[in-house]
């Protein structure tokens, strides 16, 4: 089954392609697109899939154009970008910690961003934009704190995981405090934010996300080579010429930025960062970090979950984070059981 193709260009440049991995990426991109089209068509004013595609191509009537381009497209784009960022960030974290559970939400980045947002909501009654900035700062500070606290002549996977759990507990306590001192209106607003929601997202949220992804995704993919080597352990990869600490620091920064921005845009949507890389890995059946397929999987997963939450509970009743949380929880159990059997956790 395992077939690799080698593309050779004139001038001695060659590229090895894992056919299965490429197929998975293509299929996931198509799935994400299909889910987006369906999601755009879903709502109080249903639009057929054909009309959605026509409108996206610029040939719809005025009413459809307004609904699609102004109301629903930004939400879907935020969903796709957040999902992609979380998927990629999760894959990076899992590769760096060398543990399938070492995802940013388990390590406290989600909680850190939440703390930043809660400070804005509860203490300053901040606007949506201020909450976003607060979340971004919170996530970045938490990521930095985890990295520095885990540093001891280099960062090791297990120490990163455990320090992350400790930091996560501290930040969760702070969040609990903020939630407890807030009045009930702020508490309800904070709780919706904390669950992760795509409601009411517009173009203002799309551009920063898009810009960041445009910079970070290529950067990460270029450095993925070193990451693949690092899965063999620090000593082996150093011997093979990878500057382990530098690659690790760079990729960690990228992963923290991706996760924090995604969280700032949609709230800490749980378990996407945990599940997307694992699902992608199972589909491609290849070792290594599977960065591109994780990214596509995250995007497809989040948009599908958003559609499911709208279909199952009615428009905007339950935030998408609840759906990913429940699905992710079930998946997590399965993962724990199977990974345990394989002795990989």
Partner 1 sequence: MLVDSPPEQRAETAPAPPTRRVIRGLGLLVSLVILVLVALASIAIGAKGLSPEQVWHGLFQDTGTYGDVVVDERLSRTILGLLAGAALGLSGAVLQALTRNPLADPGLLGINAGASAAVVTAITYCGVTSLTGYVWFAFLGAAAVGALVWFLGGSRGATPVRLALAGTAISAALYGYLQAVMITDDAALGRMRFWTVGSLSSATDSTILQVLPFLVVGTLLALGLARPLNAVAMGDDTAKALGANLNRTRALSMLAATVLSGAATAACGPIAFVGLMVPHVVRSFTGPDLRWILPYATILSPVLLLGADVIGRVVARPSELQVGIITALIGGPVFIFLVRRRRTAQL
- Is 100 strand, coil or helix? coil
Q: Which two tokens stand for residue 143?
A: 């990521």
HSE toward the beta carbon, residue 130, CA cutoff 13 A:
10
CB-CB neighbours of 64 under 10 Å: 18
**Smallest distance, Å, CB 266 to partner 1?**
15
Nearer to partner 1, 169 or 240 (CB): 169
Residues of span 115-144 touching partner 1 by CB under 8 A: none
Q: Which is nearer to partner 1, 41 or 319 (CB)?
A: 319
Query: Given candidates 170, 250, 253, 308, which one binds partner 1 under the rule CB under 8 A?
Result: 170
Asked if 336 touches partner 1 (CB under 8 A), the answer is yes
| Binders in 181-240 for partner 1, by CB under 8 A | 181, 184, 187-188, 191-192, 194-195
Interaction of residue 106 with partner 1, rule CB under 8 A: yes
Query: What is d(CA 10, CA 17) in angstroms, rounded to the nearest whole number?
Result: 17
Alpha helices in 43-127 (DSSP H): 49-56, 62-65, 73-97, 109-118, 124
The reply to whether 176 sits near partner 1 by the rule CB under 8 A is: yes
Quick one: which of 25, 39, 155, 163 contacts partner 1 (CB under 8 A)?
A: 163
Asked if 119 contacts 135 with a C-beta cutoff of 8 angstroms, the reply is no
Closest alpha carbon to 138 in 161, 106, 178, 171:
171
Residue keyed to tokens 């639009």: 47
Least separation in angstroms between CB 73 and partner 1: 27
Structure tokens at 235: 């000593």
Q: In terms of CB distance, is 56 or 332 closer to partner 1?
A: 332
Q: What six digits make up the tokens of 79?
A: 């969903």
Tokens encoding 191: 């709780």
* Beta carbons of 87 and 297 less than 8 angstroms apart: yes
User: Considering the rule CB under 8 A, would residue 36 count as an interface residue with partner 1?
Assistant: no
Q: Does 340 bind partner 1 (CB under 8 A)?
A: yes
How far is Cα 72 from Cα 64, in angstroms, rounded to an integer? 10
CB 26 within 8 A of CB 14: no
Binding residue (CB under 8 A) for partner 1 from 45, 66, 124, 177:
177
CA–CA separation, 268 vs 112, rounded Å?
10
- Residue of the chain from 42, 172, 238, 286 that contacts partner 1 (CB under 8 A): 172
Q: Select from 13-21, 43-51, 55-63, 157-165 the region that touches partner 1 (CB under 8 A).
A: 157-165
Does residue 173 interact with partner 1 by CB under 8 A? yes
Contact criterion met (CB below 8 Å) for 116 and 267? no
Q: Which stretch binds partner 1 (CB under 8 A): 11-19, 122-130, 250-258, 330-338?
A: 330-338
**63 binding partner 1? (CB under 8 A):** no
Give the nearest distance from C-beta 100 to partner 1 in angstroms. 9
- The answer to whether the CB of 113 falls within 8 A of the CB of 138 is yes
Nearest approach, Cβ of 220 to partner 1 (angstroms)? Answer: 24
The footprint of partner 1 (CB under 8 A) covers 99, 101-102, 105-106, 149, 152, 158-159, 161-163, 165-170, 172-174, 176-177, 179-181, 184, 187-188, 191-192, 194-195, 270-271, 274, 318-319, 321-322, 325-326, 328-329, 332-333, 336-337, 340, 345
């Amino acid at each position: 089954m395992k077939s690799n193709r080698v593309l050779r260009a004139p001038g001695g440049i060659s590229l090895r392609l894992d056919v299965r991995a490429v197929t998975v990426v293509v299929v996931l991109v198509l799935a994400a697109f299909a889910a987006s089209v369906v999601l755009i068509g879903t709502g109080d004013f249903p639009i057929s899939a054909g009309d959605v595609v026509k409108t996206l191509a610029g040939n719809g009537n005025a009413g459809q154009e307004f609904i699609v381009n102004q109301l629903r497209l930004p939400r879907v784009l935020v969903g796709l970008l957040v999902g992609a960022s979380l998927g990629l960030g999760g894959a990076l974290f899992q590769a760096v910690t060398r543990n399938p559970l070492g995802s940013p939400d388990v390590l406290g980045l989600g909680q850190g961003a939440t703390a930043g947002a809660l400070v804005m909501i509860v203490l300053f009654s901040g606007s949506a934009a201020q909450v976003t900035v607060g979340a971004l700062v919170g996530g970045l500070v938490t990521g930095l704190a985890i990295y520095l606290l885990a540093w001891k002549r280099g960062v090791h996977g297990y120490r990163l995981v455990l320090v992350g759990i400790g930091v996560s507990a501290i930040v969760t306590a702070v969040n609990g405090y903020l939630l407890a001192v807030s009045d009930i209106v702020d508490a309800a607003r904070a709780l919706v934010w904390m669950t992760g929601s795509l409601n009411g997202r517009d173009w203002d949220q799309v551009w920063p996300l898009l810009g960041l992804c445009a910079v970070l995704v290529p950067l990460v993919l270029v450095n993925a080579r070193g990451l693949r080597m690092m899965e063999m352990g620090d000593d082996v990869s150093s011997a093979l010429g990878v500057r382990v600490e530098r690659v690790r620091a760079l990729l960690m920064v990228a992963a923290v930025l991706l996760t924090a921005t995604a969280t700032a845009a949609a709230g800490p949507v749980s378990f996407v960062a945990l599940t997307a890389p694992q699902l992608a890995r199972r589909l491609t059946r290849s070792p290594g970090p599977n960065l591109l397929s994780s990214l596509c999987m995250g995007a497809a997963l989040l948009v599908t979950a958003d559609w499911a939450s709208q279909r199952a509970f009615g428009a905007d009743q339950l935030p998408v984070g609840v759906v990913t949380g429940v699905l992710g929880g079930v998946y997590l159990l399965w993962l724990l059981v199977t990974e345990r059997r394989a002795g990989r956790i």
